[in-house]
Amino acid sequence: MKITRREMIKSSLLTLGAVSCLPNLLAEEKNVYEVGAWLSGLGDFERAKKIGLDVIQISFPLRPNGAENDFRSPEARAKYLDQSAKTGVRIEALAMGAFNEYPFWAQDDTVEQVSACIDAMKAMRVKYVLISYFGDGNPQTNDQWDEIIRRYKILAPKAEDASVVLTIEAPWNAEGHRRVVDAVNSPAVQVFYDPGNMVHLFGDTEWICDDIRKLKGLIKACHIKDDNIIGKGQIDYQKVLDAYREIGFFGPQIVEGSVVGELGWEESMRQNIAYIKSH
Determine the pLDDT at residue 40. 86
Question: In the predicted model, what is the mean pLDDT of the chain?
Answer: 93
Check pLDDT > 90 for residue 168. yes
**Residue-wise pLDDT tens digits, 206-254:** 999 999 999 999 999 999 999 999 999 999 999 999 999 999 999 999 9
- Whole-model pTM? 0.91
Judge contact between 67 and 30, C-beta under 8 A: no
Judge contact between 239 and 272, C-beta under 8 A: no
Determine the pLDDT at residue 189. 98
- C-alpha 166/C-alpha 186 separation (Å) is 10
pLDDT tier at 31, thresholds 50, 70, 90: low
- C-alpha 206/C-alpha 190 separation (Å) is 23
Determine the pLDDT at residue 108. 98
The CATH number given to 37-277 is: 3.20.20.150
* β-bridge pairing 128-132 and 189-193: unpaired
Strands (E), the chain: 35-39, 55-59, 90-96, 128-132, 165-169, 189-193, 219-224, 253-255
- C-alpha 168/C-alpha 190 separation (Å) is 6
pLDDT tier at 54, thresholds 50, 70, 90: very high
Determine the pLDDT at residue 51. 96
Note the Cα 43 to chain centre separation in Å.
Answer: 21
β-bridge mates for residue 91, sequence order? 56
- Our CA dihedral for 256, 94, 207, 182, rounded to 10 degrees, sits at 170
Note the Cα 276 to chain centre separation in Å.
Answer: 17
Across 132-144, average pLDDT:
98
Sign of the CA dihedral running 126, 222, 216, 31: positive
Determine the pLDDT at residue 32. 82
- Our CA dihedral for 184, 194, 72, 88, rounded to 10 degrees, sits at -120
In this predicted model, which residue has the larger pLDDT, 110 or 14?
110
- Our CA dihedral for 124, 33, 265, 132, rounded to 10 degrees, sits at 60
Check pLDDT > 60 for residue 15. no
- C-alpha 35/C-alpha 4 separation (Å) is 38
**Residue-wise pLDDT tens digits, 178-200:** 999 999 999 999 999 999 999 99
91-103 per-residue burial string, b: 16 or more CB within 10 A, e: under 16 = bbbbbbbbbbebb
- C-alpha 157/C-alpha 235 separation (Å) is 37
pLDDT tier at 123, thresholds 50, 70, 90: very high
- C-alpha 187/C-alpha 168 separation (Å) is 12
Determine the pLDDT at residue 10. 54
